[in-house]
Amino acid sequence: MSKVWVLGAGQLGAMMRHAATPLNVEVVPVDFNQSQSVELADDDVVTAEIELWPETNATKVLSKHPHFINREVFPRLADRFTQKQLLDELQIATAPWQLVDSDTQSQALYQALGETVLLKRRTGGYDGRGQYWLKQPEGTEVPEGWHQEAIAEQKIPFDEEVSLVGARDKEGNLYFYPLALNLHVNGILMASIAPLERLSGVQAEAEEMLGKLLTSLEYVGVMAMECFRVGEHLMVNELAPRVHNSGHWTQSGTSISQFESHIRAVAGLPMSKAVVKGQSVMINLIGVERNDDWLAVEGAELYWYGKEVRVGRKVGHINLTLNDSQQLNSSLNQLASSFPEPYPEVFSWVADNLK
Ligand code: ATP
Ligand code: MG
Ligand code: MG
């Protein structure tokens, strides 16, 4: 059977390999800087766990393979400028924006977008890195080094942040998971809850938006769409042409995780709608030491990535899927007691939103 090669050897590639094991599909994550040569067979396929990569010996070989799935999509979505153009072209609601060109002055941005404007670097930003707030009352100017490198967005006074993970197979069939409610602290995803009954009212709108994108791009595999909920409607914040952190809950919470869906789609295997198993909560482990006591908590499933712990770094996540809300609350309370700052805030957000 053909192999699935993954550009990148981080936790996402590792979880794809893990998900593909029961199917006996061999998934091979490749580190960009791998010195060992990679030798692909003609019928192998290539995918990626990230949207942007440096040109190295390994990435050159992988990205030139004729079965590199979604090859054209990566550069288009990796640049926020072309990503925003695509959303506008498809008339999908997104925060109003402007390109920060070589001579763009903050005054023009305030005039077009309002008195608080968020600059986002066109490429490479993640976890809120690569953002800069411009505030008219404080007279903030576009900083040096941001011209031609950023877009500017209107500040959206959103009610909450949600995301949709969807997949398209080679025949063009679409599959969606329920929306997840996400909490970000300082730009980093800390927790997701899915499904949530009160989000069912915007599920159809979300599926229409992502469906339009997947179809128009002739995309194959899993894509994630981060949105702001503003009243009864959604606005797209950003797109990720890959499996996504806010979809990790599908590992314990559904019959087919986002990782398995992605592998099935790119490998051309049959797909089906994932069955939701219960109420799920995903807690991201950001800069915290591993604590094996977590393993003693009923329903808790630990994914520890084996990375060195550093402040602000994603080093793992915990999924909990339970149908008994009392048990879910008690497991969350038990977990909460072993976490440092800022986690008390995270666990209380989870408790408030599960009510
Ligand atoms: P990720 O790690 O999700 O890839 P990122 O660095 O690419 O993050 P965004 O998702 O664009 O950045 O923004 C990070 C967070 O900043 C959002 O989740 C949201 O909380 C806030 N944010 C982004 N854009 C806006 C906006 N236009 N108005 C208000 N808040 C925003
Ligand atoms: Mg991003
Ligand atoms: Mg984001």
Per-residue model confidence as pLDDT tens digits over 253-306: 999 999 999 999 999 999 999 999 999 999 999 999 999 999 999 999 999 999
Q: How many structural domains does the chain have?
A: 3
> Which residue, 154, 179, 197, sits at the end of a domain?
154
pLDDT digits (tens, 9 = 90+) for 35-46: 899 999 999 999
CB-CB contact of 210 with 237 (8 Å): no
Strands 314-322 and 279-286, how do they pair?
Answer: antiparallel
Q: Tell me, in angstroms, the distance from the centre of ligand 1 to residue 27's CA.
A: 31
Q: Is residue 74 part of a domain?
A: no
**In the predicted model, what is the mean pLDDT of residues 97-122?**
97
Are 39 and 120 members of one domain?
no
Atom of ligand 1 nearest to the CA of 126: 6
Which residue's alpha carbon is nearest to atom 19 within ligand 1?
Answer: 187
Backbone φ and ψ of 122, nearest 5°: -65, -40
Whether residues 315 and 168 fall in one domain: yes
81 in a structural domain: no
Asked whether residue 183 is domain-assigned, the answer is: yes
241 pLDDT above the threshold of 80: yes
Query: For strand 150-154 and strand 188-194, is the pairing parallel, antiparallel, or unpaired?
Result: unpaired
Considering the domain architecture, whether residues 230 and 345 belong to the same structural domain is answered as yes
Residues 164, 150, single domain; the answer is: no
pLDDT of 55 reads: 96
Nearest CA, atom 24, ligand 1: 237
Helix (H) or strand (E) holding 283: strand 279-286
To the question of whether residue 184 is assigned a binding role by annotation, the answer is yes
- Which ligand is closest in space to the CA of residue 189? 1
- Asked if the structure places residue 76 within a domain, the reply is no
Same domain, 140 and 249: no
- CB neighbours of residue 319 within 10 Å: 21
Choosing from 68, 83, 106, the residue where a domain stops is 68
Tell me, yes or no, whether 184 and 331 share the same domain: yes
pLDDT digits (tens, 9 = 90+) for 32-91: 999 899 999 999 999 999 999 999 999 999 999 999 999 999 999 999 999 999 999 999
Same domain, 185 and 132: no
- Domain of residue 216, CATH code: 3.30.470.20
Q: Is the pTM of this model over 0.90?
A: yes
Alpha carbon 304 to its chain's center: 18
Residue 158 reports pLDDT greater than 90: yes
Give residues (CB < 6 A) around ligand 1: 95, 118, 120, 125-130, 153, 155-156, 161, 184, 187, 226, 237-238
User: Is 91 within the bounds of a domain?
Assistant: no
Q: Are residues 192 and 51 in the same domain?
A: no
Task: Identify whether 83 is part of a domain.
Answer: no
Of the candidates 110, 130, 154, which is a domain's last residue? 154
- What is the token pair recorded at 117? 């404007």
Contact 168, 222 (CB under 8 A): no
Is 73 inside any structural domain? Answer: no
Do the Cβ atoms of 274 and 254 come closer than 8 Å?
Answer: yes
| Owning domain of residue 37 | 4-68
Q: 202-236, pLDDT tens digit by residue? A: 999 999 999 999 999 999 999 999 999 999 999 99
- Average of per-residue pLDDT values in the chain: 97
Query: If you measure from the C-alpha of residue 242 to the centroid of ligand 2, how many angstroms do you get, rounded to a whole number?
Result: 11
Instruction: State in Å: Cα 238 to ligand 2 middle.
Output: 6
242 is in an annotated binding site: no
Substitution site in 237, 239, 243, 286 for ligand 1 pocket (most atoms within 8 Å of beta carbon): 237
Question: What CATH number should be reported for the domain holding residue 43?
Answer: 3.40.50.20
Ligand 2: centre distance to CA 266 (Å): 22
129 is in an annotated binding site: yes
Same domain (yes/no): 217, 319: yes
Residues 142, 195, single domain; the answer is no
Residues 198 and 218 in one domain: yes
ipTM rounded to 2 decimals: 0.99
Is 80 annotated to bind a ligand? Reply is: yes
Please indicate if the annotation marks 120 as binding a ligand: yes
- My answer on whether 59 and 112 are in the same domain is no
Report strand pairing: 4-7 vs 27-30: parallel
Do the domain assignments include residue 110? Answer: yes
What pLDDT, on the 0 to 100 scale, is given for residue 1? 73
pLDDT over threshold 90, residue 170:
yes
Q: What is the CATH number of the domain that holds 109?
A: 3.30.1490.20
pLDDT band at 355 (very low <50, low <70, confident <90, very high): confident
- Around ion ligand 3, residues with a beta carbon closer than 5 Å are 226, 238
- Protein residue with its CA nearest to atom 13 in ligand 1: 128
* Three-class secondary structure of residue 6 per DSSP: strand
